[in-house]
Structure 1
């Protein structure tokens, strides 16, 4: 949180009308920032005494020097460690599945999902995540939310969205799995498609509805009635149609896939990323490494579902307890990381309460990842996955002025990222928590 020492330095550096009581003024447009310490995520070095200049929401200059040399008003971040704005590459902002029966998808008007999304977007941004990749939302509410944030109507992170997940009849995400057949016909929030012609049309429909990427269910899932996470869904041929049609329109494909067979199908079809990979095997890890496929491994949602919530998955053919399942998932995370597969930070937000995203960093370290690589997964690696490496992921001239400020050194204690004091998005102060 913002301590009074920070407020006092702000009092010196900025005229009184720009200040809010006990906080840094929200929605303040910055032109200069003095950073006592910031993390260069590429080199892994903590750099000191930087004067960052901002023009049009982007970093226009980074100079070394004391703050006494700065002319005019500036934001003084002495006493803080500054990092690039974080990226979560697997969210569901319009979903509150963690509420269980208290969030009854089938009884809610479509507009409710947008309202929920707006609330969750604010929580996510204020937790330090200035960019998200939102991978499947009902009724294209993610498209509407992305555009509302871009227009300044709603406070939230920069969004890259997939719209509805493409899934087979009876596949993961099919609401009809909970319904009588006559209800399924008129109520389905995702894109049900079978065979080459239907999946091609589903991609084209998504393109028309202005998505940024395509999400496809390549296996069953934990959260869908009647599906088995380890079982493959689409054939390689169907997945290739999805990938090829997406590429025609400049879109990447993210594949939900737990079991090894479904992961192999998706990787061989040319998807950009595998989401979850909770049952991956050694052969499939090697295949992902060979094909340069990203892994987005959501340890936080797995821990929340299996351990914290102790969800009953007796119908999923797991053959082990929840604790054993989570231990297996963390072991496979370690194997994937040590094999050199590119791991992008993604948490499956919505399975757990939004705003807790940064808790995953410690879980990644517990599973064998270094602190620096965990941070890189949520900055430069995730930026590459989104094909946004020219815009986000580093504190570098030309990139968006997206910063977070924390007390302490995240390379020594990653948990400091769970308590972000200040968030800046495109040079605008978004949140500055009071004591």
Structure 2
């Protein structure tokens, strides 16, 4: 590794700095200009900033979300997590996001039987109704915080509706999810881990009861469909079902919330593009894709190196961790014309916001339905929406979003 590469990465890439979190894009440009891979000492990771490399590595089976299907922690040169964190790792480790083949293939096939394009199609009227109700209340109130009033309640309500979680039980869903997702940030603290463990135990206990209830009285919800899903005698275990439900809630709203809020913040800073969208709602489908590309809600995805790989002459040995920089890949001039320009009519837009390969986002069709519904309603019902206060970013870098977005109508 050339020493200048290391200093370039360390000097500019600083995921704990509020200034970097607020605008990581100049640092990404510097990383792309100085190499295809950079060693980042503080997290013991290799940063990969280019679209072609990120795209290829997402599909490369020599990398994995886990290594436990092939190695023990010790064989892989890693320290096992503390025993006290076990409930979080049990919950997280049995979900699609953190499994590799053969388990991933089996579970994804079973979940896909329950979560089909038809499921999403059936949800469209519900999503539109919920979006209309939330935006109506927001307009009646004369505006407020877009995050808590519209962006957050919509996807949480949709997933809860889909899973068949009664309305009276929904209040803790968002806090549970936030506590669990804290563990996906870089170097989480012991306090973060304890909160995640507590939420994992509570959420699992709640779902265990709900699954038991659905076994006795199946409904038309996704949990009943997951119980019924089987393939040549294979079924989901109870833990796999619980982990799948938690993943659907966490993955099914965190990114959608941030795409909505970050997207509106982007639009409000690009008045000419917003005016074009307000004049022609037909731009909405390409606009949503462009907002996902321009300011990516999940900036980084990590992968373990299961067998040595080589990037541009640098061998990255087995046991290493690579950090695929989605936010950087989506601004790569080698793949996008004028990548730093927001172009809501952009047609050639192969962003990798939903990932690629076997872990491609299962909920992508549902996310697009939700985004179209909430953006569409706000364009129709709040055509004069404007910023009421300069927003601040949350400290998290991996899951990157605003604390709030206060607007007036």
TM score, norm. by length of structure 1: 0.22
Q: TM-score, normalised by structure 2?
A: 0.23
Q: Which has the higher contact order (CA 8 A, sep 6+)?
A: 2
Higher strand share: 1
